[in-house]
Amino acid sequence: MSQKFDVVVIGAGPGGYVAAIKAAQLGLKTACIEKYQDKEGKLALGGTCLNVGCIPSKALLDSSWKFYEAKNGFAVHGISTSELKMDIAAMIGRKAQIVKGLTGGVASLFKANGVTSLQGHGKLLAGKKVELTGVDGTVEIIEADHVILASGSRPIDIPPAPVDQKTIVDSTGALEFPAVPERLCVIGAGVIGLELGSVWARLGSKVTVLEALEKFLPAADEAVAKEAHKTFAKQGLDIKLGARVTGSKVNGDEVVVTYTDKDGEQNITFDRVIVAVGRRPVTTDLLASDSGVDIDERGFIFVNDQCETSVPGVYAIGDVVRGLMLAHKASEEGIMVVERIKGHKTQLNYDLVPSVIYTHPEIAWVGKTEQTLKAEGVEVNVGSFPFAASGRAMAANDTGGFVKVIADAKTDRVLGVHVIGPGAAELVQQGAIGMEFGTSAEDIGMMVFSHPTLSEALHEAALAVNGGAIHIQNKKKR
């Protein structure tokens, strides 16, 4: 006799495991299927985010920044260091312990909330049945009233630079370098490429970033992107725009990368190459031919704004559907879907999903850019405040970047908050909270912010929208 559940979730990443926990909390008999195993061959929950994505990369970013700051920024505080060394094995080991703790935490949460964890490969069949193939090859058919597809994404491979996880690696391999590469190439100047490139540049690699696009960080506000490009160059990242990789050749422990730019064909030799050109949905062998669920030519599952697929009772969330590939977006979609299964009318505001790049300085934004709004014909007022004028940033010797607030010129409603600098992710989240409730720039300007804090930069930027900033000179209104 097959098992029967109210909800079966395929995938235990930040979308899937959150959906499973929420479903169990709401009284639904829930199972979550996951096949990923750690190096010890044990089931590892948490998906790409916890195992080989968000969490381990942030661990390396924090470790490498502490080393970089000790080497380059302690003297100003009166702290002297000598014979500074970085134990790469210890850094990687710390990262692994953090991952183990968090993935184990998900397993504990499943147990505490009554979620049935099933190990193996899940495949959706017709009639909302799920085929579970265990690690030993045994096959079981599971019945469900509702199925949530949350199988996530994997790195995109490119023919000119085939990944061998030794000399040419993807984002997963870049988390496991046993030593600092002397010469490192990063293909792709997106979020992943910049974060991983930053890690190894701080530790001593000479990093070259090859980006096929002519424009740097096109999704970000132009002022933020310009500041970021300038800052990364100072940190040693050689970012080459309009550089399309056409080939690579591994020679022992080296690899020659060929690319074309405005000057023609170029060749550079590196010790390691990271391919970070984006991610694609994992939908291979996820759907039986008669499942009824529609996918597009790129492998994304078609869903509506409530993440419903073409089959009633079957949902898809996270990286396998349209929109930004972000863990927090996937998590909130999972909660929305489960609450709608329970009859609630929950909606997700896709206009206010924050984006963050965890470099140093951090880069974050929510809402629309100034360029997008002007292209749409929206008249805006803009206020900016530099961290160089922030007492808290000065005290921390971390004054690069600024906060930018964009508001509708007619209504004063805040339409975008963009930050590059210390605490960017946290400051943008403050902006997102206000924007969710329709805040105006004047509203933020009238709030009391504690002093001294980095948050005051958001306060001053909001005041600057209408020419009322206190700690910088205001721009004259046209």
Is position 163 within any domain? no
Q: HEC string of the chain?
A: CCCEEEEEEECCCCCHHHHHHHHHHCCCCEEEEECCECCCCCECCCHHHHHHCHHHHHHHHHHHHHHHHHHHCCHHHCCCCCCCCCCHHHHHHHHHHHHHHHHHHHHHHHHHHCCEEEECEEEECHHHEEEEECCCCCEEEEEEEEEEECCCEEECCCCCCCCCCCCEECCCHHHCCCCCCCEEEEECCCHHHHHHHHHHHHCCCEEEEEECCCCCCCCCCHHHHHHHHHHHHHCCEEEEECCEEEEEEEECCEEEEEEEECCEEEEEEECEEEECCCEEECCCCCECCCCCCCECCCCCECCCCCCECCCCCEEECHHHCCCCCCHHHHHHHHHHHHHHHCCCCCCCCHHHCCEEECCCCEEEEEECCHHHHHHCCCCEEEEEEEHHHCHHHHHCCCCCCEEEEEEECCCCEEEEEEEEECCHHHHHHHHHHHHHCCCEHHHHHHCCCCCCCCCHHHHHHHHHHCCCCCCCCCCCCC
Least Cα distance to 16 among 153, 152, 155, 172 occurs for 152
Q: Tell me which of 262, 277, 292 is where a domain ends.
A: 277
Which residues form the domain of 338? 4-155+280-350
What is the domain-level CATH number for residue 384? 3.30.390.30
Is position 474 within any domain? no
Residues 128 and 198 placed together within one structural domain of the fold = no
Is position 115 within any domain? yes
Q: Which two tokens stand for residue 290?
A: 């008669």
Residues 271 and 375 placed together within one structural domain of the fold = no
Characterise 159 by phi-psi region: left (phi > 0), alpha (psi -120 to 50), beta (else).
alpha
Least Cα distance to 27 among 142, 140, 122, 145 occurs for 145
Residues 19 and 98 placed together within one structural domain of the fold = yes
Is position 471 within any domain? no
Task: Tell me if residue 121 is catalytic.
Answer: no
- CA–CA distance, 121 with 35 (Å, rounded to integer): 5
Residues 268 and 295 placed together within one structural domain of the fold = no
Residues 296 and 425 placed together within one structural domain of the fold = no
Q: Tell me the backbone φ, ψ of residue 175, rounded to 5 degrees.
A: -90, -5
Residues 449 and 399 placed together within one structural domain of the fold = yes
Cα torsion 273, 276, 279, 282 to 10°: value is 20
Q: Are 30 and 20 in contact (CB under 8 A)?
A: yes
Is position 106 within any domain? yes
Residues 24 and 151 placed together within one structural domain of the fold = yes
Residues 51 and 192 placed together within one structural domain of the fold = no
What is the domain-level CATH number for residue 266? 3.50.50.60
Burial of 245 (0-12, 13-18, 19+ CB in 10 A): buried
Residues 10 and 141 placed together within one structural domain of the fold = yes
What's the confidence (pLDDT) of residue 82? 86
Is position 478 within any domain? no
Residues 187 and 248 placed together within one structural domain of the fold = yes
Residues 66 and 148 placed together within one structural domain of the fold = yes
Number of domains in the chain: 3
What's the confidence (pLDDT) of residue 1? 55
Q: What is the mean pLDDT of the chain?
A: 97
Residues 297 and 376 placed together within one structural domain of the fold = no
Is position 301 within any domain? yes
Q: Tell me the backbone φ, ψ of residue 241, rounded to 5 degrees.
A: -90, 155
Which stretches of the chain score pLDDT less than 50?
478
Is position 472 within any domain? no
Q: Tell me which of 306, 330, 350 is where a domain ends.
A: 350
Q: Are 106 and 17 in contact (CB under 8 A)?
A: yes
Q: Which two tokens stand for residue 92?
A: 């990687």
Selecting among 146, 451, 459, 471, the annotated active-site residue is: 451
